Amino acid sequence: MKKNHHKLRQGGYLAATTAIVVAIVIFINLIVGQLPTHLLEFDLSDKQLYTVSDTSKEFLAGLDKDVEIVVLAEESSVDERISKFLDNYAALSGRITVTEVDPVAHPSAAESYNAAVNSLVVRCEETGKAKAISFDDIIVYDQMYYLYVRPEI
């Protein structure tokens, strides 16, 4: 009888330890899930295609006016690489905001931004300047069908 009691106690400790470890793992997972993507993802491509260059970082750090980047496209038609790149830019400067506008839900949006659907509109309200950049100018296909994001955008 004592042997069974000892095994039962040992099994109880094991179950309690397992429950505590699972709770800790879930808690850590919840915390990590709240972190921004630029802290969780790393650019492992050969030529660091998804890394913001030092020149761009310096430029972003020196921004003295607020800049809005409007993504003028349906969410499903925005390439994931463009979204990640914009997230990286916004994370590097508090002066950059990214706004998504669905032209299907807002049909007059393209006209009001003076841009085509599936493009980015980079604008500064303070200066009144704006530039539309087509997704086709951002994602470039070369003759080998290799995709890359142009780093200067």
Which of the four pLDDT bands, split at 50, 70 and 90, describes residue 98? very high
- Provide the β-strand partners of residue 70: 99, 121
Same domain, 14 and 47: no
The reply to whether 141 and 88 lie within a common domain is yes
**Helix, coil or strand: residue 36:** coil
Average pLDDT over residues 123-128: 92
Quote the number of domains for the chain: 2
Cβ distance 37 to 84 under 8 Å?
yes
Are 91 and 52 in the same domain? yes
What is the pLDDT at residue 101? Answer: 92
Which pLDDT tens digit goes with each residue over 21-72?
A: 999 999 998 888 787 766 666 766 666 666 778 898 898 888 999 999 999 9
Same domain as 15, residue 66: no
- For 125, the domain range is 42-149
What is this structure's pTM? 0.64
